[in-house]
A and B are shown apart, each in its own frame.
Chain A
C-alpha cells in the first residue's frame, strides 16, 4: 500500500521537476530566443515557411491570429473526414478494417481535432494504420493549436500596450517541431524499452494459455502513445486505451505515461510566469491548481484503494481495493490517481474502467472535467483558468474599492461579457446536452449500460467529457450511434473553439489597453489571497451549477448504496 502511495508521490514530483526547465524552454521559444535545437530545426522550419509563403516574423493582430487558427483546423477536419471515410481502399490497411460511416467519421475527426479523442470506435477493428497515423498527426496539431493559443495570451498579458501578438503559424509550427516532436521521440524510445510494440505488419498470431490461437492487434503503438499523453489527447491506439497491456505494459510505462500527460500543462504555467516576468504569479496559479487537483485526487485514490463496501458486505475481502475494471499490474491506488489526473487535464486516457469506480470517485472525475482548469489541457488549461481569473479579479477588485484591473489593465463591460459567455458555455453544453439525452430516451436509454442514477451519470459523463474535450468515458455507454456521434460532435466543436477564442479575445482587448502602473491600492494578483479567491470563484461558478445534476447521478447513487 505504502509503495503505491510513494509511487504516486514520485510521479507528481518527477513531473514538477521536469516541468520547471521545460517551462523555461517553452517561454524561450515563444519569445523567439535562441535554443539549442536551432541549428537542427531552423532550416526545417524555414523550409515550411518558404513553401507556405508565410513570414514568421510578421506580427499579427489577435483577430488575424485567431482566424489563422480556425482556418488551419478547418483544413485538417476536411482531410480527416476524407481519410476516415475512405480507409478501405487507401494504403496502410493490413488488417483490412472498413471505412467509417459519416457520423462516426465526423465524431472521430472532430474529437481528435479538438484534443478530446472521444473514440466511439475501437482501434483494433475500426481504423487502418493510415487512419491511425493521421489521427496521430492531429494529436500533434491539436496540442499545438492550444499551446499557440496560449502563446497569444502570453503576449497580450505582457507589460505594456500591444498592437500585434506574434504570428500564429510560427508558434504553431515551432510548438510541433521544437516542443512536441523532441519530447515524443524521447518518450517513444523509453516506451519501446518497456515493451510497447512498433510495427506496420498487422495482427500477430499467438497461442494463448489455454492453447487456443489468438489474433493480436499491434501497430505503430510506441509512436502513437507518446503524443497521446504529451499532447493531453488521450486517444488510445487500442479500445482499452492505457489499460491495454501493449499500450501500457507495466508499472514503469504507467509512470512514464502519467508524467507525460501532466508535463506540458505544468510547464505551460511556468512558461507563462517566465514569459510575462511574473514567476510568483505562476507559482500561485500552480498552487491553486494543485490544491484543486489534490482535493479531487486524494479522495479518489483513497476510495479506490479502500475497496467497495458493497462487496465487503457480501463477505468477500477486497484488500487490493476496488478492483472491478482495474488492471492488477497497475493497482487500485495508481488507477484512482490516474482517474483524476486524466480528467483535470484534458487527456482522457484511462488505465481502468471509470464506469466501475465508486460513486463519489465518479463524481470527482465529473467535477474535474466540469471545472476543466486545474492544469487543464495543453495550452487551453491556462486559457480556461484565465476566465476565472477575470471573474475573480472583477469581484475582488470591487471588494478593495477600485474598479477591477488585472496586470495593469482595466476590466470593463466588454471583457466581462466575453468572460461570462465562456463561463456559461461549459454548463450550458453539459447540462443542455444531458437534458436533451434525458428528454429523448428513445435514442439514449437503449445505449446505457446501467439503469437509474448510474445510467444518468453515464449520459452526464459523456457530455461533460465532450464539453471539456476530455475524451474519457463511463465506458458502459454504447456510444457509436448517430445520436451520440452527432450531438457530442457539436458539443466538442463548441467546447473547444469558443473557449480558445474567448480568452484570447479578452487578452487581446486588454493587451491593447493603456497600462496602469501599480500602487499600494492595486489588488495584487500574485498573492495566496488572490489565489484563494480564484479557487472560491471556480468552486462556486463551476461546481455549484452542476450540483443538481450531480445529485441525481453519483450523489443519489452514493446515498442509495449506503
Chain B
C-alpha cells in the first residue's frame, strides 16, 4: 500500500466514472456548482431550440448546426461530471483496497463466543492469538503482541503493540504474529476513520472547504458578469440591426464563463484527499488538507523524525590511568542485561561477545528511576553504568574522588549534543561512554526546503537544552523545545497561534491528544492511542513522523492547482472573444472582419471551434487536476511569476492555437 504509480485512468474506474457522468447530469447535483449549472441551463435551452427548429422555425440557423452546439454543450457537462467522477472513483478504489483488508473475519469474544467481525460493537472485547487476523479497530486492554501491519502500511517488519502505553492501538485487518492480546473495540461498524474518509470522497458528506467557497463566489461572479454581458448584447444587437441567434448567445456565454475551473474544481478537491490517502494519510476533512498548505509552524518530535530512533554509543573514553580494554570490558558487562537500544549499541560498539568475558554468577542490577543506573555484580566486582550525577553519588559516597578528567569529558560530550554515561567499577569512576543521536540522512535538505516554503520547524525533545540545541543546529531546525512535557507542546502551539500562525504537529500518545486537537493540522499515528486519533484531523497509517512534510506539500499543491486552473480558465477568454465576437457581428458589419485575427473560416465554424475547444480542454486538464501542479519552494514571488507565465500567458496563447486548429478541421465539414 505504499504510494503507487498507477495509471490515472484504469479501465474499471473509467467505466464507473462514465456511468456517473450521466447520473450527475441531475440538476439537483449540478446546482452545487453554479458555473456548471448555468451550462446545464444553456444546454437545456439549446435542446428546446432544436425542437423549435424541427417545428418549423427558420431564423435560428440550420438544425444540424444547432444540434451540434447542443451536443457539444452536453459533452462539456459530461466532461466536467467525468472529471469529478473519475476523481471519486480513484479515491474510492484506493479506500476500498484498504477496506478489503478488513473483510469478514471471525472474532473471538472475551466471553468465549465467536461472532463475525461485522457484529462487533463499540466496547466489545475480543481476544486474538498468534496467527489471528484482528477483526476490528481497537485498543489493547491486556497483553502484548507482535503484529504484522503490512496489510495497512506496506512495512513488513512486525511491530510491538501493548496495553497501557502509547502504542496500544490495533487496526482491523492486521495479523497477530505472536502472543495473545485482549482488545476492546473502539469504533462502531461503518464509523472507522477509513469509512469516514470513503464517505468524504464519495460526496455524501463532502462539504465545500472555506477556500472552495470563496473561489466558488469568485467563479459565480465571473459567471454573472457574462450573464450581464450576454443579456445586454441582445438590445445592443437590435439597436445596431444585428440579429444574433440563440445558439450564438449560448455559445458566447458558455465559452466566457470559467467552465474549465468550474468543471474541475471538485475533482481537484477530491484528488487532494486522494493524494493524501496515497501517501497513506487518512484525512478527516477536505479542509484539513487545505489548511496543511497554509502551515507556518511544524512541531516535530526529535526521536524518529529528526534522529534515527534511539541514541547509539559512539565512543569509549576511559578515565586517566585506566586501560581502555578494562573500561570497555566493564562497559560491556554492565550492558549485558540491558535490553534498551542504547545498551545494545554499547555492545555493538565494543564488537565483542559479552559472554567471552568471565563473569561468574552474575547478578544484574536493573535500572530504576530512583537509582538511575544499572549494572552487574559478580564475585567482588560491582559495575555500575548511569547518568553522571547518579554515578558521582555512588563514587563520592564511598569516599572516593570523582576524577576531574571525567567531569571535563562529560561536559564536552553534552556540549556536542551527546549523552554521557559514566561507568564505575567498585565505586571508582573509570570512564565515560558517549551516546549520540544519529541525525537522519537527508533531513537537513528537507528542513531547508521547508524554510524556503516559509515554514518554521520546531524540534520537540525530552533532552536537556544543551543537547537539544546541538541537535537542532546540526539538523537545521529553526527552534526547539527542550525537556518537553506534553503541556509545553500545547503552550507552544497556543503561543504561535495567538500570533496568527498556523501550527501542525504529529503525535501518538494520549497526552498528545490536547495538543493534537489544538493544532491546526494534527496528524495522529495509526499506532497511537484512540484518544490521539480522535483528536487529530489526520491519521498516518505508516506511523512515519516525516509525513507532515508531505502533507504540507499536498495542501500547497491543492491550492496551487485551483489557482493556476482559475487563471488559465479566465485567460482563455481573450482568445474566445476574438473567435466569437467577430462571428456574431460579421454578417451585419463586414468591416469587423478586421477583428477576426485568427482568420477563422466562417462565423459558424468560429463558434463551433470555440465551444468545442471549451469542452475538450476539460478532459485534457483532468490529469493535471488529479496529479496537481508541482510545488517548487522557490519563494512566493518567483512561484507566482512562474505560474503566471505558464498558466496565465499559456492560458492566453493555447486557445488561440487550439481554436484555430479545430476551426481548420471543422471547416472541412462545413
Contacts and interface: CB of A to CB of B under 8 A. Distances in A.
A399 B637 contact: no
B650 interface: no
A520 B633 CA distance: 10
A529 interface: yes
A423 B223 CA distance: 12
Interface in A392-424: 394-404, 408, 411-413, 416-417, 420-421, 423-424
Contacts of B564: 398-399
B313 interface: no
B228 A517 contact: no
B228 A562 contact: no
Contact of B581 (A417, A439, A522, A547): A547
Given A412-B210, A416-B217, A530-B640, A438 B452 contact: no
Interface residues of B, number: 74
Given A435-B236, A559-B593, 20 more contacts: A394-B218, A395-B218, A398-B563, A399-B564, A400-B560, A400-B640, A403-B294, A424-B221, A432-B232, A436-B235, A438-B236, A516-B296, A519-B296, A521-B296, A536-B648, A540-B574, A545-B228, A545-B229, A551-B592, A559-B595
Contact of B595 (A394, A533, A555): A555
A398 B215 contact: yes
Contact of A522 (B454, B556, B562): B454
B644 A399 contact: yes
Interface in B637-670: 637, 639-641, 643-644, 647-648
Contacts of B217: 413, 416-417, 420
Contact of A431 (B232, B290, B592): B232
A429 to B, nearest CB: 10
A436 B239 CA distance: 11
Given A548-B233, A555-B595, A519 B294 contact: no
Contact of B639 (A401, A427, A431, A432): A401
Q: Which 10 A-B pairs have CB atoms at the shortest separation, nearest pair first?
A: A521-B454, A398-B563, A401-B556, A420-B221, A519-B454, A399-B563, A520-B454, A435-B232, A438-B239, A559-B591
Interface string B88-119: 00000000000000000000000000000000
Of listed A431, A452, A548, residue having the most chain B CB within 10 A: A548
Given A424-B228, A529-B641, A552-B240, A521 B573 contact: no
A401 B559 contact: yes
Nearest to A391: B218
Contact of A396 (B221, B233, B589, B640): B640
Interface of B is mostly: helix
Contacts, number: 207
A52 interface: no
A307 B116 CA distance: 92
Nearest to A409: B500
Nearest to B564: A399
**A403, A428, A524, A562: most-surrounded residue (chain B CB, <10 A):** A403
A173 interface: no
A523 B500 contact: no
B384 to A, nearest CB: 50
Given A400-B639, A438-B238, A521 B455 contact: yes
Nearest to A411: B214
Nearest to A540: B570
B670 to A, nearest CB: 24
Nearest to B237: A552
A552 B294 CA distance: 46
A240 interface: no
A549 interface: yes
A530 B637 CA distance: 8
A453 B588 CA distance: 12
A67 interface: no
B225 interface: yes
B50 interface: no
A395 B566 CA distance: 7
B361 interface: no
Contacts of B290: 403
Interface string B206-245: 0000110111011011001110110111111111101000
B214 A427 contact: no
Interface in A252-273: none
Given A427-B228, A548-B581, A395 B573 contact: no
A79 B215 CA distance: 44
A533 B235 contact: no
Given A403-B559, A424-B225, A524 B644 contact: no
A44 interface: no
B572 to A, nearest CB: 10
A529 B240 CA distance: 41
17 contacts: A394-B214, A396-B563, A399-B644, A400-B640, A401-B555, A401-B557, A431-B228, A456-B239, A516-B501, A529-B637, A536-B644, A540-B571, A545-B226, A545-B228, A551-B595, A559-B589, A559-B592
B594 interface: yes
B229 A427 contact: yes
Interface string A226-258: 000000000000000000000000000000000
Given A399-B560, A556-B591, A434 B218 contact: no
B218 A420 contact: yes
A483 to B, nearest CB: 15
B402 interface: no
Given A435-B235, A515-B500, A552 B229 contact: no
Contacts of B218: 391, 394-395, 416, 420
A519 to B, nearest CB: 3
Contacts of A416: 214, 217-218, 221
Contacts of B555: 401
A544 interface: yes
A183 B259 CA distance: 52
A434 B592 CA distance: 21
A441 interface: yes
Contacts of B294: 402-403
B560 A401 contact: yes
B417 interface: no
A434 B637 contact: no
Contacts of A532: 644
Contacts of A431: 228-229, 232
A536 B644 CA distance: 10
Given A398-B560, A403-B211, A521-B454, A453 B228 contact: no
B516 to A, nearest CB: 22
Contacts of B441: none
Contacts of A399: 560, 563-564, 567, 639-640, 643-644, 647
Given A456-B239, A519-B455, A521-B454, A555 B644 contact: no
B577 interface: yes
A234 B563 CA distance: 41
A215 interface: no
Contacts of A527: 637
Given A403-B290, A427-B228, A555-B592, A520 B238 contact: no
A560 interface: yes
A46 interface: no
Contacts of A540: 570-571, 573-574
Nearest to B220: A420
B344 interface: no
A514 interface: yes
A416 B644 CA distance: 21
Given A441-B239, A520-B636, A424 B224 contact: yes
A467 to B, nearest CB: 13
A532 B456 CA distance: 29
Contact of B453 (A397, A520, A533): A520
